[in-house]
Amino acid sequence: MTQATRALEEHFNRLIEADQRVEPRDWMPEGYRKTLIRQIAQHAHSEIIGMQPEGNWITRAPSLRRKAILIAKVQDEAGHGLYLYSAAETLGVSRAELLDLLHAGKQKYSSIFNYPTLTWADVGAIGWLVDGAAITNQVPLCRCSYGPYARAMVRICKEESFHQRQGFEILYTLSHGTPEQKAMAQDAVNRWYWPSLMMFGPPDEESKHSAQSMAWKIKRHSNDELRQKFVDMIVPQAEALGLTLPDPDLKWNPERGHYDFGLIDWDEFYEVLKGNGPCNRQRMEHRRRAHEEGAWVREAALAYARKQEERARKEQAA
């Protein structure tokens, strides 16, 4: 390592230690850059793949009001994808490259979106549990050491909290409706509860990226800490909804000051991660098709940008 690099590295370490932000202009270790690209890309991919299970219900929303809300929510998720791809681009990769990696199966998205949305109540359960878990994960990322990622998260978290409330409100309405509607809400919660706990990733002792990410202050809390926080948050919310969570071992533990909960089926988690979840194939096919069918839009946008640029150049020359 040259003396110049050593000085740059010391500067980077000082920034991290002082809890300041690393910006795109700053020198950073290759591992830090790579970790961030992997994490931000996976996050961006999750936002846009996550549009599919909910988009499935736009045409069948039970009222115009529900439809307008769902369209706005799905559109928010597209926006989150855009903020995040832009944040990743500050690290020296392009959005096109990241999408190619997703389509080639070389980058991942959150496994939760490989589960199907069988009824309207699933839209409620996703908002309440999936967006709820996302917020728990993402609020600490607003203090992430990489500036562009941290700033994108601030805006995303504000929108996610609306998403969680709209999900809660859908479930609340159903659970106070007819017995059939209440049963539909309960069924959706039964199916989404365990996958939402898996969203925090494997248990701490199996999580291979965690220690380094914590040292770099990309991550602020461990997977198990965040999972516990989420369970503690949703138990009273489930009571308010008049619904139960499908875990017989769920119980308040006064000594720990937290809810104890049952064992997660990690075999299921790894199966879905490997590509064998109920909708993995469908999600990827749909994504690739949407990308191909959108090629003319990208070409037209580029042609338009070029034309504008040329016009500006001519005007300047005149």
Given candidates 131, 149, 170, 193, which one binds Fe ion under the rule CB under 5 A? Answer: 131
Given candidates 54, 77, 89, 122, which one binds Fe ion under the rule CB under 5 A? Answer: 77
Please state the closest distance from residue 159 (CB atom) to Fe ion, in A: 7
45 lines the binding site for Fe ion (CB under 5 A)? no
Count of residues in contact with Fe ion, rule CB under 5 A: 6
**Residue among 15 and 84 whose Cβ is closer to Fe ion:** 84
Please, where are the H alpha helices in the chain?
Answer: 3-17, 30-49, 51-55, 64-89, 95-103, 121-125, 131-138, 147-175, 179-198, 210-215, 223-241, 266-271, 280-293, 295-317
**Residue among 164 and 181 whose Cβ is closer to Fe ion:** 164
DSSP, collapsed to helix, strand or coil, labels residue 250 as: coil
Of the candidate spans 4-12, 56-64, 123-131, 240-248, the one that interacts with Fe ion by CB under 5 A turns out to be 123-131
**Residue among 76 and 89 whose Cβ is closer to Fe ion:** 76
**Residue among 20 and 161 whose Cβ is closer to Fe ion:** 161
80 lines the binding site for Fe ion (CB under 5 A)? yes
Listed in sequence order, the residues at least 6 apart from 14 whose beta carbon sits closer than 8 Å to its beta carbon are none
DSSP string, 155-206: HHHHHHHHHHHHHHHHHHHHHTS-HHHHHHHHHHHHHHHHHHHHTT-S-GGG
Q: How far is the C-alpha of 38 from the C-alpha of 108, rounded, in Å?
A: 9
| Cα 294 to Cα 78, 102, 291, 297, distances in angstroms | 15, 16, 5, 5
**Residue among 117 and 181 whose Cβ is closer to Fe ion:** 117
Please state the closest distance from residue 103 (CB atom) to Fe ion, in A: 21
Structure tokens at 177: 């409706």
Considering only residues 299 through 318, tell me which ones interact with Fe ion, judged by CB under 5 A. Answer: none
Please state the closest distance from residue 170 (CB atom) to Fe ion, in A: 14
Residue 240's CB is within 10 A of a number of other CB atoms, namely: 11
Please state the closest distance from residue 223 (CB atom) to Fe ion, in A: 19
Residue 44's CB is within 10 A of a number of other CB atoms, namely: 26
Tokens 């009273």 sit at which residue? 236
**Residue among 77 and 122 whose Cβ is closer to Fe ion:** 77
**Residue among 15 and 112 whose Cβ is closer to Fe ion:** 112
**Residue among 43 and 219 whose Cβ is closer to Fe ion:** 43
Tokens 């919310």 sit at which residue? 237
Yes or no: say if 161 and 135 are a contact pair by the CB < 8 Å rule. Answer: yes
**Residue among 110 and 223 whose Cβ is closer to Fe ion:** 110
Residue 127's CB is within 10 A of a number of other CB atoms, namely: 25
Please state the closest distance from residue 208 (CB atom) to Fe ion, in A: 25
Nearest Cα to Cα of residue 219 among 157, 141, 281, 121: 141
Considering only residues 176 through 235, tell me which ones interact with Fe ion, judged by CB under 5 A. Answer: none
163 lines the binding site for Fe ion (CB under 5 A)? yes
Please state the closest distance from residue 211 (CB atom) to Fe ion, in A: 27
Please state the closest distance from residue 309 (CB atom) to Fe ion, in A: 33
54 lines the binding site for Fe ion (CB under 5 A)? no
At 146, give phi and psi (nearest 5°): -90, 115
Yes or no: say if 86 and 32 are a contact pair by the CB < 8 Å rule. Answer: no
Of the candidate spans 44-52, 86-94, 170-178, 201-209, the one that interacts with Fe ion by CB under 5 A turns out to be 44-52
Q: Which residues bind Fe ion (CB under 5 A)?
A: 47, 77, 80, 131, 160, 163
